[in-house]
Each structure stands twice: as structure tokens, then as C-alpha cells.
Amino acid sequence: MSCVIRALVLVALTLGVGVAFYGLIVRRTPTGHCAHRRARAQRSARWSPITVIIPNADAAPAIVNGVYLPLMFISGTFFPLSSSSVLAKIASYFPIRPFVLASYNAMNPQVQGHPVREVWLVNLAIWCAVALVFAIRRFTWLPRRRA
């Protein structure tokens, strides 16, 4: 419980500093909420299929980070990407790039109109559906015996 409280305090402080000193504007739009809901559902569905290849709890962080960190790197999470770059074009097929762009545009005061493009929502919905189908077909609560 203390981790949740600590995370909420850090989010509040970060947003407060952004609003007070950097002119951050947090817009709440229906498409922004839709993008965040789909991204949350997609994240949940995306990590369930990975459990198929995780042999035990000790190996979980290494396997998950081995998949997630390269995707975050090419999606422009750690540094800005030009939308015309090859890396951005590759990342646009994966689910993290649309979520990063939607989150950035929702807080960018220079973006006018709806901050989320429908293409990003479709991308997130497709990844969510594929991951959910895979998870339903492959996930089990019991560990598989390896021969």
C-alpha cells in the first residue's frame, strides 16, 4: 500500500511542477481516455502471453525487460523521435509508440483539437485483441512440465 501512496504522491508532484513552472496543460478528452483505457487493457493482455515462456519467478524480470526495454527504446520513450525517421516508422507498428504519442499530445499545449489520432486507437485495439486471443489460448495457472 505504501508503494501506491508513494507513486500517487510522485505523480501529483510531477504534474504540479509541470503546471506551475512549465505551463503544462492536462487535457481530458474522450479520445484521450479511450487511448489510455485501450493501452491499459492492451498492457494487461500483452504480458499474459509472455508468461508462457517464463520458466519461473526468478527469470521473469529478465525476460520481460528483454522484450519491453527495446520496444520502449525504439518508440521514443527516452528521447524524441522525428516522425519521418526509420525508427519511428518501425515503432508505429508496435503498441508503445501510439501510446507515447497520445500521452505526449494530451499534455502538449501546442497541439490543437483532438490530441489522439484514430490510427493510434486502432493500433492499440488490434494489439489488444491479438494478445488477448493468444493469452486465452495459451495461458494456464499451473506451470508446464519441461521434459
- pLDDT (mean) for 67-86: 85
pLDDT of residue 38: 61
Residue 147 within a domain? no
Residue 60 within a domain? yes
Which are the contacts of 102, defined by CB distance < 8 A and separation ≥ 6?
32, 35, 36, 39, 115, 116, 117, 120
Residue 97 within a domain? yes
Ranges of H-type helices in the chain: 2-22, 30-50, 60-74, 86-91, 96-107, 118-138
pLDDT of residue 75: 85
Mean pLDDT taken over the chain: 77
Check whether 84 has a pLDDT greater than 80. yes
Residue 13 within a domain? no
Residue 144 within a domain? no
> What string of DSSP letters covers 9-41?
HHHHHHHHHHHHHH-------HHHHHHHHHHHH
How many domains are there within the chain? 1
pLDDT of residue 35: 59
pLDDT of residue 81: 84
- pLDDT (mean) for 51-59: 79
Residue 5 within a domain? no
Q: What is the CA radius of gyration of the chain?
A: 18
Q: Which domain holds residue 82?
A: 27-138
